[in-house]
Amino acid sequence: MALPKPRKYIQYHKDGSVWAKGFTQTGKMEGKWVWFRKDGTKMRSRSFVKGKQAGTWVTYDKKGNVVRTTTFGT
C-alpha cells in the first residue's frame, strides 16, 4: 500500500502570525519545515524523514544571516 501524499501543515503564534509551516505524512513531519518569529522573519529551517531529523538544519538571526548549522543523518 502506497503512503498518502504529504499534506501542508501550518502552525500559528497566539497572535495569528505563522509560527511554522511544512508537511506531514501519516501524522509525522516530512520534508522541509520553516519556523518564523512573530515579526515574520525566518528563525529556523529543518528537514525531516518519517518524523526524524534529517539533512542540514539552519538557524538564522533576525537579519537572515546563518547563525548555526547542524547536519543529521537519515
Cβ-based neighbour number of residue 19 at 10 Å: 17
pLDDT above 70 for 19: yes
pLDDT digits (tens, 9 = 90+) for 20-43: 999 999 999 999 999 999 999 999
> Structural domain boundaries of the chain?
7-72
User: What pLDDT was estimated at residue 73?
Assistant: 67
The rounded distance, in Å, linking the Cα atoms of 65 and 56 is 15
* Sheet containing 7-12: order of strands: 7-12, 18-25, 28-36, 42-49, 52-60, 66-72
Each residue of 47-67: pLDDT tens digit?
Answer: 999 999 999 999 999 999 999
